[in-house]
């Protein structure tokens, strides 16, 4: 009888400790959620960087879209897409932080405008919205240019775009 009592008391102690630990984890989880909510409101840039580092670029993209209202078209280009993107007919085998040295044929993505330079020579007024892992550029007259974002982990690696009048996709890498 005594042996059963000792075993029962031991099992009850372990059960109480386990329930206490689960309760502690639940409180900590609630604190983290509250801290992230506060950070999102007070410091959205830091919040988004934290999301990008912890969950990757695709999760960052979803949060970026909701934080800055890119569910609808906007004149402002998303900050991660701003700049010149060297265009290639084939994907390049390059590392994560690759920046193209040569920028003869490129797509300049700017606030309110897309400019193709080099052999493509075109300019389009543009408004941008984010849909999944694609930035859609509305260039007027009911026409859009989808810009697919290819990321690995937390980094945007390159873009894939088919310009009006082209039949094959072009692969864009940030350039100097």
Q: Where are the beta strands (DSSP E) in 43-174?
A: 83-88, 106-110, 113-117, 122-125, 127-131, 134-140, 143-152, 155-161, 170-174
Question: Tokens in use for 175?
Answer: 């350039």
109-156 residue pLDDT tens? 999 999 999 988 999 999 999 999 999 999 999 999 999 999 999 999
Contact in structure between 106 and 118 (CB atoms under 8 Å): yes
130-142 residue pLDDT tens? 999 999 999 999 9
pLDDT beneath 70, residues of the chain: 1-4, 31-40
Q: What 3-state DSSP class applies to 10?
A: helix
Give the number of C-alpha atoms closer than 13 A to the C-alpha of residue 114, restricted to the C-beta side.
25
Closest to 58 measured CA to CA, from 75, 80, 76, 39: 80
């Amino acid at each position: 009888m005594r042996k059963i009592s000792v075993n029962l008391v031991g099992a009850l102690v372990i059960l109480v400790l386990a329930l206490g630990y689960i309760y502690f984890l639940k409180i900590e989880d609630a604190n983290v959620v509250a801290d992230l909510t506060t950070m999102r409101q007070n410091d959205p840039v830091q919040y988004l960087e934290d999301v990008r580092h912890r969950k990757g670029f695709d999760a960052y993209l979803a949060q970026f879209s909701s934080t800055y209202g890119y569910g609808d078209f906007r004149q402002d280009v998303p900050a991660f897409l701003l700049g010149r993107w060297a265009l290639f007919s084939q994907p390049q085998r390059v590392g994560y932080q690759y920046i193209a040295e040569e920028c003869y044929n490129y797509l300049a993505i700017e606030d309110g405008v897309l400019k193709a330079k080099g052999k493509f020579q075109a300019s389009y007024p543009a408004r941008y919205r984010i849909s999944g892992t694609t930035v859609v550029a509305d260039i007027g007259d009911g026409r859009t240019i989808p810009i697919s974002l290819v990321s690995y982990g937390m980094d945007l690696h390159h873009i894939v775009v088919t310009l009006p009048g082209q039949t094959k996709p072009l692969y864009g890498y940030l350039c100097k």
